[in-house]
Amino acid sequence: MSAAATEHLELPIEGMTCASCANRIERRLNKLDGVTATVNYATERASVTYDAGAIEPERLVEAVEAAGYEAALPSAEAAAEEAPEDDPNAPLRRRLVISALLSAPVLVLSMVPPLQFDNWQWLALQLATPVVLWGAWPFHRAAWANLRHGTATMDTLISLGVLSAWLWSLYALFIGDAGMPGMKMSFSLVPSSGGGEDEIYLETASVVTTFILAGRFFEARAKRRAGAALKALLALGAKDVSVIDDDGGERRVPVSELTVGTRFLVRPGEKVATDGVVEEGTSALDMSMLSGESVPVEVGPGSEVAGATVNAGGRLVVRATRVGSDTALAQIARLVTDAQSGKAPVQRLADRISGVFVPVVIGLAVATLGFWLGNGESASFAFTAAVAVLIIACPCALGLATPTALMVGSGRGAQLGLLIKGPEVLESTRRVDTVVLDKTGTVTSGEMRLTEVVPAAGEERAEALRLVGAIEAASEHPIARAIARAAATEGPLPAVESFANREGLGVEGVVEGHALVVGRPALLADWAMHLSPELDAARAAAEERGATVIAAGWDGRARAVFAVADTVKASSREAIAALRDLGLRPVLLTGDNATTAGAVAAEVGIEEVIAEVLPAEKAAVVARLQGEGHVVAMVGDGVNDAPALAQADLGLSLGTGTDVAIEASDLTLVSGDLLAAADAIRLSRATLRTIKENLAWAFGYNLAAIPLAAIGLLNPVIAGAAMALSSVSVVANALRLRRFKPARG
């Protein structure tokens, strides 16, 4: 498959009722040339990668329909979503309520002999028949469609069990002796052996149908809740926007009409229509929908803003930089969708079992019937045990175990600004023992700030900062900008009369008649200006603390030193402690000198430092740690971190970093807060733990329930209730992930 011709589609699938259905569709799609597909029962979608030069997308839909299910291309789905949506569970709810109302009298008559009257079984037949034929119709229809295609699914088992009980009852009533006055239907938790040959099972047929409908209804409702986070995320975007025309006029248009470069207005309380750059105005933006952080972010001219964030303050004029599928919101939604569509390694065994589950169960039911008849048991007992085997088996729980946990976990992560790229990431979070942290922009803010001004004896601090701030304002160097920014906050800066940049050393110029030299002490030495013992001591102390020191002199004498540092993020120390609590060994990795790196490490509580590493060498450091037997996570934000993020067993990128770093990582922390790294690993581990709990329950349930049914210890009614409960319990367990709390907030 050529990369240039490869395209990807998400096909919504209708008609799947269990994991066997998903496996069948997946096999059918993967038989097509140039197609690789994964079908997710929980999300009811097929994630398909195909060679556009070899196959048309319509062929994918045809393949799904040929398997007996329905599919739609994304454009058709999008059009459908624009229409008002009714409750999709309403028909199922109606079918459940009516079936329950009809089944209840049948069950009561069966369980309470004093209420039985002559020929009451005929009333039971009239009540049970609509349940069996209409209430269970979705199962019969799906079973027939599968039979036409030569396959069997969970619906086949249900349909066989319900119809067998009903047809046996018809035989007993019309041909046997069960229709005679006084004959009683039997009901017990354990079917009797050696009972009458013509017992009837109308209560089994109707109540089992009701239980399974109830299970399907609660399962469907829980699955919708599981995917609610992603639906809410997709609904966050603004629907229309006030566009500013070239003549300054305003007009309201749908967001879909925005193009890159369009200027639009964001009033207080409105959502930002799309990603852009602020051109006019200042305000505070509520970024919680993207980052999970509740504190508003101050923005002004030149600030980048993301679509769907809420303007909590003043009026803003924004120029669009990204629209449609290129926006941050769309990319986050795409990451979450991809994560939910994938399959974790722990799901593969469940998929293989689900693929052969139904034929094996049918074989076991037939074997159960034959075994008991061959051992002299009554036909009633043998029939009851066989029907119980058919009904209690449940591949649905196996199919739901992984995807529902992924849906809830990744959806909750999106709400908190923690984006899991795919299900295979979860296994890595469990095994990681070492976390390598890039310093600049990850542990520190990545923004240089003036931390100290030390004037020489007889000099005034304010005057030194005013003169030096003026000449540094003419430079683009990050250190110069930090000094200029601090000086500007204390008052207006004088004009610079002349300016020269000395590459790698500093700057020279004239301000208010003073000839200034600002930069490394070596640059001042070239002008015969040397630091006094007091200034040199201040320089050494600042460098010991990890700061970068700039010296300034004018009129032939060194006058002051300025300490500039990349400040540590407020949450970094707490984040390192949280990572340690997860059993991880933190390692600081940086290209800075060992003194600066050591000072930062000491401040946040990291004991191991690897300093003075070139950008190209970061991946090699990660590889070396892996070679020593460690499973390594890497946290970074810059372009130079991308190779190391890709090399690591688990890559975590800060959403405040570059697109390249985000693309190379496995987990993205939208907020840029290092504390979110610990939250992301905790959530991933919790999701993996939930998947394993679900699979353990699903496997254990079937391993225990089928033998119990086969030896005659379970009535079909109890079997139906247990089968319905098994699927609901798996989804309910996954929904507990919605209560995941971040370390802070």
Span 503-534, pLDDT tens digits: 768 899 999 999 999 998 888 988 999 999 99
Decide: 286 and 310 in contact? Cβ < 8 Å: yes
Percent of the chain with pLDDT over 90: 23
Question: How large is the average pLDDT for residues 584-602?
Answer: 86
pLDDT winner (highest mean) among 15-29, 385-399, 604-618: 604-618
Decide: 125 and 173 in contact? Cβ < 8 Å: yes
Alpha helices in 345-394 (DSSP H): 348-374, 379-392
Instruction: Report residue 630: phi and psi, to 5°.
Output: -90, 150
Q: Is the pLDDT of residue 178 over 60?
A: no
The pLDDT tens digits for 566-588 are: 888 888 999 999 999 999 999 99
Domains of the chain and CATH, by start: 3-82 (3.30.70.100), 90-228+339-406+691-737 (no CATH), 240-270+275-322 (2.70.150.10), 418-444+569-685 (3.40.50.1000), 446-567 (3.40.1110.10)
Tell me what pLDDT residue 613 has.
Answer: 83
pTM above threshold 0.85: no
Tell me what pLDDT residue 562 has.
Answer: 95
Give the model's confidence band at 185: pLDDT under 50 very low, under 70 low, under 90 confident, else very high: very low
Q: Worst-scoring range by mean pLDDT, 233-242, 608-617, 641-650? A: 233-242
Question: How large is the average pLDDT for residues 548-553?
Answer: 90
Tell me what pLDDT residue 142 has.
Answer: 82
Tell me what pLDDT residue 82 has.
Answer: 41
Q: Is the pLDDT of residue 339 over 70?
A: no
The pLDDT tens digits for 709-723 are: 899 888 777 777 777
The pLDDT tens digits for 23-38 are: 888 888 988 988 888 8
Decide: 644 and 436 in contact? Cβ < 8 Å: yes
The pLDDT tens digits for 247-275 are: 878 888 888 888 899 999 998 888 888 88
Stated as kind and residue range, the H or E segment containing 595 is helix 594-604
The answer for 506, left when phi > 0, alpha when psi is -120 to 50, beta otherwise, is left
β pairing state of 557-568 and 585-589: unpaired
Tell me what pLDDT residue 514 has.
Answer: 92
Decide: 149 and 67 in contact? Cβ < 8 Å: yes
Positions marked active-site = 438
The pLDDT tens digits for 277-297 are: 999 898 888 876 665 555 577
Tell me what pLDDT residue 225 has.
Answer: 66
DSSP 639: G
Tell me what pLDDT residue 193 has.
Answer: 36
